[in-house]
Amino acid sequence: MESKYDIEATPVMKSSDFSSNEQENFIKRKIHSIDKKLALPCVILLCIAVIILVFGIPITQVIIGSIYFNSCPLDNRLPIYLVIAGIGTLICLTFAIIKNYGKKSNWWTFFLFKSDTLCLIWFITGTVWISHAKKRVQYSNPYDTITYCEHTVITCVTVTLVFSYGIVIGLLGYHVES
């Protein structure tokens, strides 16, 4: 009894139907088309990650410095350092974006140079403050105001300074090679 719907078989290509060179070319074309399809999403994800990292660190500095503003009696300048470093970095980023993508003007270059100089001086100041604080800090007894500092403050200052050192060394290496 024949069915109203005949099942048609999908033609199957046997490996003997292609020469080995044609098979390699076929595979290469398929891989290349997959690479093209994945390239744009990977670039977009990478750009989003860089933007989050570049703007996330100074925003985190401002937030941590604000939340723990009075939580470091060992050196009450460390939360202040975080807030000012975060705001300064955001200002530098804003000037850099305007200078590179906005209306071309020497004023933006001037403002960027001044803000970068202030950020560099503040970076060096923060390095001195954290190096003195790390020698004496303890995290367990908040009533010992001579040596206590909130662990989050010290960690945030240290991590952002290490990250900043990496950027400075990377930029110096980049400019030396150029």
- In this predicted model, what pLDDT tens digit does every residue of 61-94 receive, in sequence order? 999 999 999 999 999 999 999 999 999 989 888 8
12 pLDDT tier (thresholds 50, 70, 90)? low
Output the average pLDDT for the chain. 81
Q: Which residue has the higher pLDDT, 122 or 103?
A: 122
Angle at 135 between CA 133 and CA 139, to 5 degrees: 70
Q: Are the C-beta atoms of 91 and 66 separated by less than 8 Å?
A: no
Q: What is the pLDDT of residue 76?
A: 92
Comparing CA positions, the residue from 153, 177, 2, 162 lying closest to residue 73 is: 153
175 pLDDT tier (thresholds 50, 70, 90)? low
Tens-place pLDDT, residues 156-166: 999 999 888 88
- In single-letter form, the type of residue at position 165 comes to Y
Q: What is the pLDDT of residue 18?
A: 54
177 pLDDT tier (thresholds 50, 70, 90)? low
- In single-letter form, the type of residue at position 28 comes to K
Q: What are phi and psi of 73, to 5 degrees?
A: -65, -20
The length of the chain is: 178
Q: What are phi and psi of 148, to 5 degrees?
A: -85, 140
Measured distance CA(97)–CA(38) in Å, rounded? 28
* C-alpha atoms less than 13 angstroms from C-alpha of 78 in its C-beta half-sphere: 32
